[in-house]
Each structure stands twice: as structure tokens, then as C-alpha cells.
Amino acid sequence: METVLVVDDDLTVRDVVRRYLERAGHRVLVAGDGEEALRLIDSGRPDLVVLDIMLPGVDGVEVCRRTRRWSSVPIVMLTALGEESDRVLGLQLGADDYVTKPFSPRELALRVESVLRRTRGAAPVAAGDLVDGDLRVDTAARVATRGGERLALTLREFDLLAFLMANPGAAFSRADLLDRVWGWSFGDRSTVTVHVRRLREKIEDDPARPVRIATVWGVGYRYDPRS
């Protein structure tokens, strides 16, 4: 049974989300502010965090930032409808997914289940090693290394890298990647842009002049092996 931490300062939201997730078979922890959330992430070791951005005291953005210093636990952010800057910032800090408020509790439960399925080992490509020079991705163990050093990748970053490396030379639009990697038939395409930017920071010698993940103008992105 996986443990999900729900962080929201609205008692009604916490209670409704908790009941939906418990019905789906999850153990649920709840927190009403950022400090309590950080304590529970550390002590409760949840398998996933549902994190509202607007929290009293330490807000959700700061909770995400601090958590990513030491943990790769999947994070689903809750953001206000229309606040694109909040969504992009959350993704830049390492959030794996987001849901906009107001939201359907059933939709959130399904999104949580989708992310958890990934953590159980379902990869977007067949299990095995993907190697490009000093970059190695073990899709079975879900470990990526560069020059022998393990890369700190979020769940979605790993899946995106594995998918692109498994399809070298093929150009994919952001809509294609949302469908093939995220499993979304619709969604904010800036999600892909942010994840590509974060990946480039981790696998490119010069992220401003990427040679592995190339931008195909008017289309999207392509993986160009260096070896």
C-alpha cells in the first residue's frame, strides 16, 4: 500500500482528497502548512506528495525546492487556474505533474495513480541499457549516470530521457511527447519545454548550446547521439 501525503491549508479539500485516495487503496497523510509537510516528508517517507502552492508560512514552491535537495519523491502540484507562472516554476523546481484548481477529486486520484504507476517500474521503453558515450540509462533499474556519476532525475525527467534515447534521430512534437511520455491526450505543452530545459542542464556540457537534445524548429525535439 503506497502512502500519499496531501498538503493543503483548506480542511475541506484535504478531507475530500483523502477520502478519494483512501478509496483507491492508498494510505493518506495530511498536512495543513509547509512546515508540517516538510516534517512528514522526512519522517513519513511518502511515496507521493500532493502539494498546494498557496500555503501559509512556507509555501508549496519552497517545500518543493527544499524537498528536491535530498529526495526524488514524486510531487503533484496543485495550482490556481490560469497561474501558468506557478505551474512552470513548480516544474522547474522538480515537480512531476500538476493539477489546476478547481479540480475534480476523481481526476486528481487518477493523476496520482498515473504517477505512481511510473514509480512501480513501468518505463516508456523496453527494459535494458541505453548508452550514448558517457551517458548511460538503465531502464530496468531506472538509474541514469553520466561519467559514472548518478544523475538526480525526477520521475518524468527519467522517462523523457529514456524515451528520447530509445528513439535517436526522430523528431517529436511537444504534443507527441505529452502523449508518449506523460500519457496525456491533452495538457499544457510548456510542461515538456520545462522538462527538456532541466534535462539539458543535467546531460549537456553547455545547456545553452545543446548537442544531445536538439530543438527542431517548427516541430519539437530530437535526440542526437554523440557516439
> Model confidence over 1-55: pLDDT tens digits?
899 999 999 999 999 999 999 999 999 999 999 999 999 999 988 999 999 998 9
pTM > 0.85: yes or no: no
Cα angle 140, 183, 167; round to 5: 55
Q: Rounded CA gap, 145 and 51, in Å? A: 29
182 Cα distance to chain centroid: 9
pLDDT of residue 187: 58
Q: Rounded CA gap, 132 and 164, in Å? A: 12
pLDDT of residue 107: 85
Q: Could you read off the pLDDT of 89-147 as tens digits, one per residue? A: 777 777 888 888 888 888 888 889 888 877 765 545 556 789 999 999 998 888 999 99
pLDDT of residue 178: 86
pLDDT of residue 80: 76
Helix axis angle for 105-119 and 155-166, nearest 10°, is 60
